[in-house]
């Protein structure tokens, strides 16, 4: 991937390109997260255990992780606009396979196809979004693009879960295909046609991954996402078995969680534009506390719902700051690094989903599962504190953060 250059057309209002990216991210986010709300239904229909069905989350995330560097190479010479188009087409094809899957193996394969588009879309999209605004607004622009991902949890996942409960778990995937078509139309109409690559050698750009701060930034992403998905993958059975929630109540709590993600997305963008690393440390500390609290409140449905809402705010407030951190620390190859950081997030998704499933299989009860997420969040905090300490100890150079981010 290359850095991108923007020749802005005065005829294209600035919010519309970001809105087009947000529509696509809404569809991709709905497809990624809907499986959590449908997990018991999928398990029953395809005759597998819930931990086995949970591997659909792991498989998706691994495919994002492995697909990100491969597609980074394959799309290196494409203009970013066409790369984004191609990713949405792949996404639509994968979801059609999910909707028609006759068995578990086919569904897993279709999820993998869908996932191949994820890392490159969000990686390139984040750099495109950041390039549309002044430097001090970059995190907020990234957050606006990722707003589609949070709305997927506010609207897509709860409505998809309700649709799946009413018409069968396959129905939501047909709905996602319709969103993909809408996203393609919006991107064709609104994305600037003058986004150009800057040239360079993709293999040379991979050298940026040898930088300690780049590796630390990706480690932060892995651990933060691992903390979230070790618990969130199994949130439906946790609510049903521990909190006593009905399927309808689960839908409303998922909606509440999605509202929290949306608020967190806005909060994270503003905090990152203010002071990036101190904000990350504060948020990770609060995530650790929130997950610890969930182990105590899980048995009481209203208190569990309130805790999950706060957890959602804190967990997604981490996303745009971490994405901006990797773009800053890999300034010569922002597209590549941003794409690979999406792979890092999804490596955390996969590891977290596997860890949670392994813990359940080993006998950990659902009400104690949040302790695992809390410990992983604490590890993320330690890595972030070390990275911040390294920033302060390093001499000021061309790869340092802007003063407004590190002060």
pLDDT of residue 200: 52
**Residue 225 belongs to a domain with what CATH number?**
1.20.1250.20
Least confident range of 14-23, 178-187, 203-212, 291-300: 203-212
Structural domain contains residue 292: yes
The answer to the question of residue 22 being in a domain is: yes
Q: Does residue 321 belong to any structural domain of this protein?
A: yes
Tell me, yes or no, whether 198 lies in a domain. Answer: yes
Asked whether residue 1 is domain-assigned, the answer is no
Determine, yes or no, domain membership for 5.
no
Q: Is residue 276 scored above 80 in pLDDT? A: yes
Report residue 68's pLDDT band, with 50, 70 and 90 as the boundaries: confident
- Provide the residue range defining the domain that includes 235: 16-406
Give 331-385 pLDDT, tens digit per residue: 777 777 778 888 888 788 878 988 998 999 999 999 999 999 999 999 999 999 9
Parallel, antiparallel, or unpaired for β 195-197 and 4-6? antiparallel
Q: What is the pTM of this model?
A: 0.75
Q: Which residues pair with 196 in a beta bridge?
A: 5
In a domain, 3, yes or no: no
Number of domains in the chain: 1
Asked if 305 and 238 count as a contact pair (C-beta separation under 8 A), the reply is no
Q: Is 10 within the bounds of a domain?
A: no
HEC letters along 274-332: HCHHHHHHHHHHHHHHHHHHHHHHCCCHHHHHHHHHHHHHHHHCCHHHHHHHHHHHCCC
């Amino acid at each position: 991937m290359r850095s991108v250059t923007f020749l802005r057309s005065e005829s294209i209002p600035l919010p519309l390109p970001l809105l087009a990216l947000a529509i696509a991210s809404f569809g991709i986010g709905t497809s990624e997260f809907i499986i959590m709300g449908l997990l018991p239904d999928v398990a029953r229909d395809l005759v597998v255990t819930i931990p086995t069905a949970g591997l659909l989350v792991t498989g998706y995330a691994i495919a994002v992780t492995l697909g990100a560097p491969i597609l980074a190479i394959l799309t290196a010479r494409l203009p970013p606009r066409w790369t984004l188009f191609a990713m949405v087409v792949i996404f639509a094809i994968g979801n059609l396979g999910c909707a028609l899957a006759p068995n578990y193996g086919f569904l897993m394969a279709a999820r993998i196809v869908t996932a191949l588009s994820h890392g490159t879309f969000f990686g390139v999209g984040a750099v495109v979004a950041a390039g549309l605004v002044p430097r001090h607004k970059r995190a907020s622009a990234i957050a606006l693009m990722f707003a589609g991902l949070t709305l997927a949890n506010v609207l897509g996942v709860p409505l998809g879960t309700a649709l799946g409960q009413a018409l069968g778990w396959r129905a939501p995937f047909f709905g996602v295909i319709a969103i993909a078509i809408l996203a393609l139309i919006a991107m064709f109409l609104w994305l600037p046609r003058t986004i150009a690559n800057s040239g360079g050698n993709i293999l040379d750009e991979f050298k940026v991954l040898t930088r300690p701060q780049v590796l630390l930034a990706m480690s932060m992403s892995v651990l933060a996402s691992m903390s979230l998905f070790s618990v969130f993958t199994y949130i439906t059975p946790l609510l049903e078995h521990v909190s006593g929630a009905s399927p309808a109540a689960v839908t409303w709590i998922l909606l509440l969680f999605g509202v929290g993600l949306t608020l967190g997305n806005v909060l994270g963008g503003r905090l990152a534009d203010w002071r990036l690393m101190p904000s990350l440390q504060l948020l990770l500390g609060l995530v650790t506390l929130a997950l610890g609290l969930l182990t105590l409140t899980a048995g009481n449905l209203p208190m569990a719902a309130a805790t999950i809402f706060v957890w959602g705010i804190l967990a997604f407030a981490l996303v745009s700051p971490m994405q901006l951190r990797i773009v800053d620390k890999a300034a010569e190859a922002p597209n590549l690094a941003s794409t690979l950081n999406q792979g890092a997030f999804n490596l955390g998704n996969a590891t977290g989903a596997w860890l949670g499933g392994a813990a359940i299989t080993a006998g950990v009860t659902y009400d104690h599962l949040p302790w695992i997420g809390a410990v992983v969040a604490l590890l993320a905090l330690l890595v972030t504190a070390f990275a911040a300490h390294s920033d302060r100890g390093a001499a000021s150079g061309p790869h340092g953060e802007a003063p407004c981010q590190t002060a």
